[in-house]
Amino acid sequence: MAKLTDEISKRRTFAIISHPDAGKTTLTEKFLLYGGAIALAGSVKGKKTARHAVSDWMEIEKQRGISVTSSVLQFSYGGYCINILDTPGHQDFSEDTYRTLMAADSAVMVIDASKGVENQTRKLFKVCVMRHIPIFTFINKMDREARDPYELLEEIEGELGIATYPMNWPVGCGKEFKGVYDRGAGQMISFTANNGQREVAATAAAVDDPGLGALIGEDFAETLRGDVELLDGASAEFDLEAVQAGRLSPVFFGSALTNFGVEPFLKDFLRLTPPPLPRVCDEGEIDPFSPDFSAFVFKIQANMNKAHRDRIAFMRICSGKFEKSMEVLHVQGDKKMRLLQPQQMMAQEREVIDEAYAGDIIGVFDPGIFSIGDTICSPNRKIRFDGIPTFAPEHFARVRQLDTLKRKQFVKGTSQIAQEGAIQIFREPGKGMEEVIVGVVGTLQFDVLEYRLKNEYGVEIRLEMLSYQHLRWIEETPVEPKKLKITSDTKVVQDFKDNYLLLFTDTWNINWALDKNEGLRLAEFSR
């Protein structure tokens, strides 16, 4: 029992969210370096080879050198057992990216200091807010030309609607980057580039230290004194409760590439971020420390082995301990079973595991029975976790099969791929399944769909891109959906649970529909 409590209290499970190129990979790699998981940062990538090593499952990944799905890395540091959930970016951005956030207890938001808040960060941030998880900000690339720090904080507050608390404050940037002032310690830490090394040997001085000018230059020292006074006087108090409720984001400035400010960030982050949080099920909150095992599926990875049409279901453990070959209950299937080939990612290696604890993520062999959101638990305690929301896709295409004789395979293929959660399928009311509208969060999923239908189901399709960009579920409507007053380029569709939805080309049309139909309520995701 004591071991269980001890193991679970050590867990920290978080996701790193960012726009491509902000420095997520570099920061993760430096974290791994501190965790001793790799000997020298920089030895992990070439990004392409690293990604290959992690997932060489699908031919399409090999062809393009990209990873279609996200993975989890586990390592230890300072007495903590850390699980980093990777949120895929670039063109492999997909619903998986959103769903991964459902398995996290907190998020680290990496922002490029020269760019500020970018599109993909904005989207991922919304999901974090929906879950009220703590969000920590790392403003990266201070060794390059950066925007004014006050302006960056204002942008985060204004665009994302979260208060900020600078934990440290940068002095200069780019060639003139002098380091950061650690507000907690009341010390200036001067910048030294430490690419590839673990230890950051920095010199420190207090603001009233007469040596400060010599360390960073008189002008910078003067500016810093002014900034510190301003920050101490003007900014909000540090409020841990607000941080843990996701209302206040502690902000750190640094440079992942030169390994400056990374370890102090990691230390503070681990100190302030929560251990596994209770999850809500039909019986209320489940205590992560309770001895009964429970977990939910948040991602399904298809076709690890083409010959067998295998899948791997990734689940987040919510309570208790998982032991290899223990008997569990798959609640949605109402079946007792043993989970096969449980595995975890340790640094860059995939390993078969014997045990795992609340907070951990495991992947198990799935013979095609699990769906996203399913609950797996000890047979003596049947519970059902709240489902994972379906996020609105942003790209749409009309999909037709080319060979009408293969209707059955087409229906089976699209339905199965939709069940795994890679795509969403819709139909126009009154129409059958021969022609569907497919919605995806990232356009790569269209290629994946085409490839998989052909290779696994022998069905050739034609994709016709549609100009819709926004999808909304109709939550309440004053009239039958078909009778709503909508513009000619808005479309009524149904999902396969027969819910009605509206497809819009732009936000102007959304507002038009809301204006003209009193009582119409639309939602961006469906529960």
Q: Which residues are annotated as a binding site for GTP?
A: 18-25, 86-90, 140-143
Q: Which residue in the block uniquely carries the two structure tokens 């949080």?
A: 277
CA distances to 79, 206, 217, 228, 300 from 200, rounded to whole Å, are 20, 18, 21, 24, 40
Do residues 212 and 204 lie in contact, with contact meaning Cβ atoms separated by under 8 Å?
Answer: no
Nearest distance from C-beta of residue 158 to ligand GDP, angstroms: 23
Residue 274 touching ligand GDP (CB under 6 A): no
Q: Where are the alpha helices (DSSP H) in 402-467?
A: 407-420, 444-457
What x/- string results for residues 179 through 208 when contact with ligand GDP is judged by CB under 6 A?
------------------------------
Query: Which of residues 12, 30, 141, 491 is near ligand GDP by CB under 6 A?
Result: 141
Q: Which residue's CB is nearer to ligand GDP, number 144 or number 400? A: 144
Stretch that binds ligand GDP, among 15-23, 194-202, 267-275, 389-397 (CB under 6 A): 15-23
Nearest distance from C-beta of residue 256 to ligand GDP, angstroms: 4
Stretch that binds ligand GDP, among 255-263, 285-293, 369-377, 399-407 (CB under 6 A): 255-263
Neighbours of 501 (CB within 10 A): 22
Tell me if residue 363 falls in helix, strand or coil.
Answer: strand
Nearest distance from C-beta of residue 475 to ligand GDP, angstroms: 35
Residue 120 touching ligand GDP (CB under 6 A): no
Residue 424 touching ligand GDP (CB under 6 A): no
126-156 exposure pattern, b = at least 16 Cβ within 10 A, e = fewer: bbbbbeebbbbbbbbbbbeebbebeebbebb
Query: Which of residues 135, 139, 256, 461 is near ligand GDP by CB under 6 A?
Result: 256
Residue 143 touching ligand GDP (CB under 6 A): yes
Q: Are strands 294-302 and 311-319 parallel, antiparallel or unpaired?
A: antiparallel
Q: How many helices (H) and strands (E) does the chain have?
A: 14, 33
Do residues 464 and 453 lie in contact, with contact meaning Cβ atoms separated by under 8 Å?
Answer: no
Find the angle CA(402)-CA(407)-CA(409) to the nearest 5 degrees: 100
Q: Which residue's CB is nearer to ligand GDP, number 140 or number 424? A: 140
Q: Which residue in the block uniquely carries the two structure tokens 């907070």?
A: 359
Q: Which residue's CB is nearer to ligand GDP, number 119 or number 488? A: 119
Query: Which of residues 4, 10, 21, 50 is near ligand GDP by CB under 6 A?
Result: 21
Q: Which residue's CB is nearer to ligand GDP, number 251 or number 257? A: 257
Query: Which of residues 25, 194, 303, 375 is near ligand GDP by CB under 6 A?
Result: 25
Contact residues: ligand GDP, CB under 6 A = 18, 20-26, 89, 140-141, 143-144, 255-257
